[in-house]
Structure formats: structure tokens, C-alpha cells
Amino acid sequence: MSARRLFFGIGLPEPLQQQLVRWRAEQFPEEAGRPVAAANLHITLAFLGEISDEKAQGLQQLAGRIRQPSFTLHLDDAGHWPRPGVIWLGCRQAPRGLLQLAEMLRAQAARSGCYQSPQPFHPHLTLLRNATRPVALPPRNFHWQFTVGHFSLYQSVFAQGRTRYRALQSWPLQE
């Protein structure tokens, strides 16, 4: 049976993708790390790993039963995790709706046998990868926000030397 690398996540409105990419180019020198492509910028809610189509279908059905309110996400924090080599954007205070949604998806994933990291969930948007060297983070005088009205299941596709995240299905959050 075929297996695909999947995760639940939140995409960004396209204008915000473009704004972030411009800001990143101004703030970080080239040697800071490998920039994530604009269209790939996202926040992971639950990482599923390589899973069978059957398992994915079960999780898609469960995702369709989730009733959660939409929420506003404020991107007003940044950080550097040198070990995985990630420079990220996040929220100083994660909205409750985001944490609840991730908690539900991660619990469903765990019950379906998808390994979930024991580390506390820290919602973030990876801006740069391979960022293993010390780097000066920009002053925290930035603040973007957007309304999250849906979440999606993404497939991570690696082809021609590039990773691309393809949205397979999306589910609305309540108004």
C-alpha cells in the first residue's frame, strides 16, 4: 500500500506570504539559513509522518467532525532553535482556539498510531531551515495578524530537489 508524508496545518493568505518573504530578506543575511519558499510557509498543527491511505482516510473523517471557532493569529514573536536549525515566527500568546484545534488533531493522530512528539506543542511558522549557526534575531517590533477560518491536510511532496506542501483537503472553522 502506498504511504504519504502528511500533516495537518494552517496556511497563510498569499499577501502575507509575500510580506513575510520581503521582511525576511531585509532582516536575515543569506548565510543565516535556507529560506522556506513563500508558498510553503505554514503552521503545523499535527505531524502525521508517512502513513497509509487507509489511516489518512480515517483521520480525514475525524477532522471533518471537529467543531471549533475561527480565531485570529498574531505573529509577534520570533526565535531560533539551533539544533533542528530552524528560525521561526510565532505568537507571544497562542490563541486558545489554535491550541484546542492542535490538541484535538494530535490526540486523534496519536490514537491512530501516529507518533506525537512528547515535547510541548509550540505553534510556529518556519522561516529558515539549516540555521544551525548563531544568528541575531530581528527586534520584536513586528506584528502581523490574520484570521484563521480553516485548517488543511497537507502532503509533503519531494520532487526535483524541492519540497512542496500540497493541500489535499480543508475544513472550515466556525464563524
**Who's near 118: CB < 8 A, 6+ residues apart?**
none
Cell of 141: 517590533
Residue 93 is a binding residue for ligand 2AM (CB under 6 A): no
Kindly state the smallest distance separating residue 113's Cβ from ligand 2AM, in Å: 15
Which position among 126, 127, 128, 173 is part of the footprint of ligand 2AM (CB under 6 A)?
126
CA atoms within 13 Å, Cβ hemisphere of 39: 8
Kindly state the smallest distance separating residue 126's Cβ from ligand 2AM, in Å: 3
- Residue (52 or 174) nearer to ligand 2AM, CB: 52
End-to-end C-alpha distance for the chain, whole angstroms: 38
List C-alpha distances in Å: 40 to 52, 61, 144, 158, 165: 23, 25, 18, 12, 6
- Residue (17 or 126) nearer to ligand 2AM, CB: 126
Q: Which amino acid is at 137?
A: L
Which position among 2, 117, 141, 160 is part of the footprint of ligand 2AM (CB under 6 A)?
117
Q: How far apart are CA 46 and CA 104, in angstroms?
A: 9
Spot the catalytic one: 74, 80, 122, 124.
124
Which position among 24, 33, 44, 55 is part of the footprint of ligand 2AM (CB under 6 A)?
44
Among this protein's residues, is 150 annotated catalytic?
no
Residue 47 is a binding residue for ligand 2AM (CB under 6 A): yes
Which position among 7, 28, 71, 151 is part of the footprint of ligand 2AM (CB under 6 A)?
7
Count the helix, strand and coil residues of the chain and give each as a percent rounded to the nearest 5: 25, 40, 35
Active-site positions read 42, 124
Contacts with ligand 2AM by CB under 6 A lie at 7, 44, 47, 86, 117, 126, 156
